[in-house]
Amino acid sequence: MLHPVRHATDTPDRPAYIMAASGETVTYAELDARANQGARLLRSLGLGRGDGVAVMMDNSPRFLEVMWAAERIGVYCTCLSSKLTAAEANYIIRDGNCRVLIASKGIGAVAEQLVPLTGNVRRYMVDGTIVGYDAYEAARDAQSSAPIDDPVSGGIMLYSSGTTGQPKGVRHALSEEPFGTNVSALVMLGQALYGFTPDMVYLSPAPLYHAAPLRWSMAVQQLGGTVVVMERFDAEQALADIERYHVTHAQFVPTHFIRMLKLPDAIRARYDMASLQATWHAAAPCPIPTKQAMIDWWGPIVHEYYAGTEGNGFCAISSAEWLEHRGSVGRNLTSVTKICGEDGTELPARTEGTIFFAGGTEFAYHNDPAKTAEATHPQGWTTLGDVGWIDEDGYVYLTDRKSFMIISGGVNIYPAEIENLLVTHPKVADVAVIGAPHEEMGEQVVAVIQPADPNADRAALAAELHAFARANLSHVKAPRRIDFRDELPRTETGKLYKRLLRDEYWAKHRP
């Protein structure tokens, strides 16, 4: 058995997780006891196999505890972004058929606004409480910590981030294997690709409500390692935490890399990274210069993978492979990659098209058969909606999300290439490239820039960036317009809410 239940017996005093800022440590014995209490609480509310529980927390010390409580009674746990509005959260709670909501006091006024919206949903709160919520810790502690009878494995139902429309849940069938034997595929991938062992110390710098941070953290705990949870990401603090906790493994997103690389050299040199054995990144395309700079800094331990919440494929690449196939996200390890044209015809190597996965895990978008059908090829292959190509060796290269494509004067332009260039400019902290309306061309390329120096002369910076783009991009790809924002609407895992920016520009164009 690879499960915290076993580790609570075999290595009871080993830290299951540590909160990076506070240092609060929860051992496997403590995690198991609290998970049993939480499971008994949920069962006392009438929840059983296939029911839904919503979790809406910041990176609270109770997050992983609640997940393991729900996991052992066969329920689906739906994790909601702590950045959602009350209306957005309520949509997911209802769409996911969640009968219980467990929130953290850290999500602020949204929790209060959810009280009248969620009706008969039973509400609990961790880290304190407000009117309309029962205190989770008190209700948990009223239960026995003895192992529950007849544990059964539950699942995680996560929702897309909603960057291009209403979020949709991805629901996989629950495991039929005996409890504790259904080992996560990430455990095996982690062992094969990144050298996972029970002695590992894994840094999780991103919000746990996202698929990758949550699933990798739970995979580490299935194996018996220690997870160090950053309450929130800070570039220098991440380096300090790696040194302080002797972190051996960590996952980041390209935005994290960019922010760490833009720290002054003296700060980067201040911290000892010698404990690191493997790091990997995903969630968004990584600019080639950024990836190269990380390999130069940390050595050939920087890995990458490409996958989605849907779980229909998993591409991976090591530093050594990447240096031979610069810009690739790797070869498919769990299914077969197909590149298809608009008519569904399979395309040859080095031809750009929609990326499909054949033979991967089946999935369906919850309550949305139309979206499921849209993501499914006539041959049964499925897509995440990305565009790219493969080389003769089977390495996959991403172009961009199909939905982000700009059509200007009949020419297809993908923003990612432009963003990956502009973000390397030393005076740029962040960038989003979108298509905005244009009377003659249909759409024009607009770059929305977050300056590294908020007080910079923006007219001069715009001129400098225009020249930089024209010197490195073809004429049609160079932004026609550069605008500035103090901050871009980006999730904490690095994904841009481009829909919000694009809708803003197009709304101004409407009569």
- Which sequence spans correspond to the domains of the chain? 4-182, 409-509
**Reported confidence tier of residue 507, pLDDT bands at 50, 70, 90:** confident
- Over the stretch 333-350, which tens digit does the pLDDT of each residue have? 999 999 999 899 999 999
Describe the strand order of the beta sheet including 481-484 as a list of residue ranges.
428-438, 442-451, 481-484
Distance (Å, rounded) from C-alpha 65 to C-alpha 48? 18
Q: Which fold has domain 4-182?
A: Rossmann fold (3.40.50)
Q: Which residues, listed in sequence order, are joined to residue 39 by a DSSP beta bridge?
A: none
Lowest mean pLDDT among 21-25, 69-73, 93-97, 500-504: 500-504
Q: Which residues, listed in sequence order, are joined to residue 434 by a DSSP beta bridge?
A: 446
- Over the stretch 8-35, which tens digit does the pLDDT of each residue have? 999 999 999 999 999 999 999 999 999 9
| Residue 52, token pair as written in the block | 């839904």
Asked whether the predicted pLDDT for residue 413 surpasses 70, the reply is: yes
Query: Span 409-509: which CATH code?
Result: 3.30.300.30
Half-sphere exposure of 378 (CA within 13 A, CB side): 7
- Over the stretch 106-151, which tens digit does the pLDDT of each residue have? 998 999 999 999 999 999 999 999 999 999 999 999 999 999 999 9
Tell me what pLDDT residue 511 has: 41
Tell me what pLDDT residue 160 has: 72
Tell me what pLDDT residue 165 has: 55
| Fold: same for 4-182 and 409-509 | no
Distance (Å, rounded) from C-alpha 314 to C-alpha 327? 16
DSSP for 326-341 reads: TT--BEESSSEEEEE-
Q: What does pLDDT average to over the chain?
A: 92
**Reported confidence tier of residue 407, pLDDT bands at 50, 70, 90:** confident
**Reported confidence tier of residue 164, pLDDT bands at 50, 70, 90:** very low
Burial class (CB in 10 A: 0-12, 13-18, 19+), 252: buried
| Residue 108, token pair as written in the block | 């602020």
- Over the stretch 217-274, which tens digit does the pLDDT of each residue have? 999 999 999 999 999 999 999 999 999 999 999 999 888 998 999 999 999 999 999 9
Distance (Å, rounded) from C-alpha 95 to C-alpha 494? 26
For helices 458-472 and 415-422, the axis angle rounded to 10 degrees is 120
Residues in the chain: 511
Work out the average pLDDT over 341-362. Answer: 93
**Reported confidence tier of residue 162, pLDDT bands at 50, 70, 90:** very low
| Contact in structure between 110 and 130 (CB atoms under 8 Å) | no
**Reported confidence tier of residue 85, pLDDT bands at 50, 70, 90:** confident
